[in-house]
Amino acid sequence: MPSTKRKIINDPVYGFITINHPLIFDIIAHPYYQRLRRIHQMAMAHLVYPGAVHTRLHHSLGAYHLMCQAVTELRNKGVEITPEEDVAVKAAILLHDIGHGPFSHALENRLAPGIHHETLSLGIMHQLNENLEGRLSLAIDIFTGKYHKPFLHQLISGQLDMDRMDYLTRDSFFTGVSEGVIGYDRILKMLLVHNDELMIEEKGIYSVEKFLIARRQMYWQVYLHKTVLSAEKMLKKIIERARKIYRKDDPYILTHSALDYFLGGDFDGVINADSMERFCSLDDADVTFAIKRWSKHPDVALSTLSTNLLNRKLLKCTIQAEAFDQATLTKHTLDVCARLGITEEEASYLVFTGEAANTTYNLVAEHINIYFKSGDVKNISQVDNALIHQTLSTPVKKFYFCTLAS
20-39: contacts with a copy of itself (CB under 8 A):
20, 29, 31, 34, 37-38
Q: Which of 182, 183, 162 is nearest to 172 (CA)?
A: 182
Q: How far is the CB of 177 from a copy of itself (least distance, A)?
A: 6
**Taking the alpha carbons of 338, 341, 345, 349 in that order, is the dihedral positive or negative?**
negative
Q: How far is the CB of 329 from a copy of itself (least distance, A)?
A: 21
Residue 362 interacting with a copy of itself (CB under 8 A)? no
Residue 391 interacting with a copy of itself (CB under 8 A)? yes
Q: Which of residues 170-209 bind a copy of itself (CB under 8 A)?
A: 173-179, 181-183, 185-186, 189, 206-207, 209
The rounded distance, in Å, linking the Cα atoms of 318 and 365 is 31
One-letter amino acid of 54? H
Are 140 and 14 within 8 A, CB to CB? no
Q: What is the pairing mode between strands 369-371 and 197-201?
A: parallel
Q: How far is the CB of 296 from a copy of itself (least distance, A)?
A: 10
Residue 324 interacting with a copy of itself (CB under 8 A)? no
Over its C-alpha atoms, the chain yields an Rg (Å, rounded) of 23
Which one of 110, 117, 215, 216 is in contact with a copy of itself (CB under 8 A)?
Answer: 216
Helices (H), 79-147: 83-95, 104-107, 117-131, 137-143
User: How many C-beta atoms lie closer than 10 Å to residue 29's C-beta?
Assistant: 9
Q: Which stretch binds a copy of itself (CB under 8 A): 132-140, 278-286, 324-332, 349-357?
A: 278-286
Q: Which is nearer to a copy of itself, 22 or 150 (CB)?
A: 22
Are 92 and 143 within 8 A, CB to CB? yes
Which one of 27, 39, 43, 55 is in contact with a copy of itself (CB under 8 A)?
Answer: 55
Residue 1 interacting with a copy of itself (CB under 8 A)? no
Which one of 161, 284, 299, 346 is in contact with a copy of itself (CB under 8 A)?
Answer: 284
What are the residues whose beta carbons fall under 8 Å from the beta carbon of 194, sequence distance 6 or more? 369, 371, 377
Residue 15 interacting with a copy of itself (CB under 8 A)? yes
**Binding track over 78-117 against a copy of itself, x by CB under 8 A:** x---------------------------------------
Q: How far is the CB of 46 from a copy of itself (least distance, A)?
A: 7
Which one of 257, 333, 359, 381 is in contact with a copy of itself (CB under 8 A)?
Answer: 257
Residue 213 interacting with a copy of itself (CB under 8 A)? yes
Q: Which of residues 115-174 bind a copy of itself (CB under 8 A)?
A: 173-174
Q: Which is nearer to a copy of itself, 55 or 275 (CB)?
A: 55
Residue 265 interacting with a copy of itself (CB under 8 A)? no
Q: Which is nearer to a copy of itself, 370 or 387 (CB)?
A: 387
Q: What one-character DSSP code corresponds to residue 395?
A: P
Q: Which of residues 289-308 bind a copy of itself (CB under 8 A)?
A: 289, 292-293
The rounded distance, in Å, linking the Cα atoms of 122 and 117 is 9
The strand pairing partners of 198, in sequence order, are 193
In angstroms, the first-to-last Cα distance of the chain is 65
Total residues at the site for a copy of itself (CB under 8 A)?
A: 76
Ordered DSSP codes for 307-329:
HHHHTT-PPEEEEESSPPPHHHH
The rounded distance, in Å, linking the Cα atoms of 248 and 243 is 11
Residue 7 interacting with a copy of itself (CB under 8 A)? no
